Amino acid sequence: MLSSALSFSLMGVCVKAVGPRLPVAEVVLARSLVSLVLSLAMLRQAGLSPWGHRRGLLILRGVVGTAALLCVFAALTQLPLAAATVLQYLQPTFTALLAWALLGERLTGRIVLATLLGWLGVLVLSSPGMLGSLRSSGTIQLPAIGVWLAIAGALLSAVAYVSVRALGRSEHPLVIVFYFPLVGVALTLPSTLLNPMLPSAWEMVGLLGVGVFTQLGQIGITKGLLGLPAARATALSYGQVLLAALWGWWWFQEPVDSHTALAAGLVLAATLLSLRSRPSRAADR
């Protein structure tokens, strides 16, 4: 889960680098094509059939995951990298609630408290006026459409992660990973063909980075979700928030204002609290 956080943070850098000019669907298509080739190679090396057993749920996971990517990538083009990542990490909250409702995983007191801290961080970030005493001239009011895209991406990501947890009972992790880009290509290719945009050489490098880093992140998060209860597993990936703030400051000269720093601190506190939580017997099963 921690390695996936690093990979996804670098994916965000690549998306933000190519996002100002290239359509979001084209970026998702490039990501899906790279990931599809890598997935097929891994499946062949492992001697596995790519088609799995529960194909309906595998396809649904791919559809929801692709919709989540479209929302997340669009949010990354409109928001500062750190802010977009903080908002995206509402997903552990949604995941915990969905895993409790659909998979029977127990919500521990620590996870509930961590969830509340995470939501408070999002509130601080998206509504800077609520803490007038901390407001400064450097505070940026986030565009509402970017905020809602990030929240929608978080919710859809949670649905996808819970489906991974359910699929783990019958499917190999590589098969689950394979269906994601397969469905992604099918969903984004038509719109890209209708409105193609030829990428430059540097944009091609960025698109390749999106595909490679997303693939590494998906492998890490899939294996993590199969080894830990969904709520605790996704909480570990909160580390991506701090990495996003670093990359945004380093590569895009995005200042980290007091509200972003406070929100990131609340999210980090939620992560540390979640790390100390122990899975219940019911969740282990």
The pLDDT of 33-46, averaged and rounded, is: 93
**Where do the H-state alpha helices sit in 228-257?**
230-236, 239-252
Q: Is the pLDDT reported for residue 227 higher than 60?
A: yes
The one-letter amino acid code at 15 reads V
Helix, strand, coil percentages for the chain (3-state, nearest 5): 80, 0, 20
Token look-up 């290239």 returns 22
Tens-place pLDDT, residues 105-145: 777 787 788 788 877 887 787 765 544 444 444 556 778 89
Q: Which residue has the higher pLDDT, 156 or 240?
A: 156
**Confidence label for 230 from pLDDT (cuts 50, 70 and 90):** low
CA dihedral 177, 181, 187, 191 (to 10 degrees): 160
CB 106 within 8 A of CB 280: yes
Per-residue pLDDT for 50 more than 90?
yes
Q: Which residue has better confidence, 253 or 221?
A: 253
CB-facing half-sphere around the CA of 113: CA atoms within 13 A = 10
**56-95: pLDDT as tens digits:** 999 999 999 999 999 999 999 999 998 898 888 777 778 7
Residue type, 191: S
- Alpha carbons 239 and 153: distance in angstroms, whole number: 18
| Amino acid at position 259, single letter | H
* φ, ψ for residue 277, nearest 5 deg: -80, 140
Instruction: For residue 153, give every residue at least 6 positions away whose Cβ sits within 8 Å of its Cβ, in sequence order, or none.
Output: 68, 69, 70, 71, 72, 75, 88
Which residues in 225-264 are b (16+ Cβ under 10 Å) and which e? bbebbbbbbbbbbbbbbbbbbebbeeeeebebbbbbebbb
**pLDDT at site 44:** 95
Which range has the worst mean pLDDT, 1-10, 103-112, 179-188? 103-112
158, 91 contact by CB (below 8 A): yes
- pTM confidence score: 0.81
- What whole-number distance in Å separates Cα of residue 31 and Cα of residue 171? 23
DSSP state of 168: T
For residue 231, the model assigns a pLDDT of 61
Separation of alpha carbons 169 and 176, rounded Å: 11
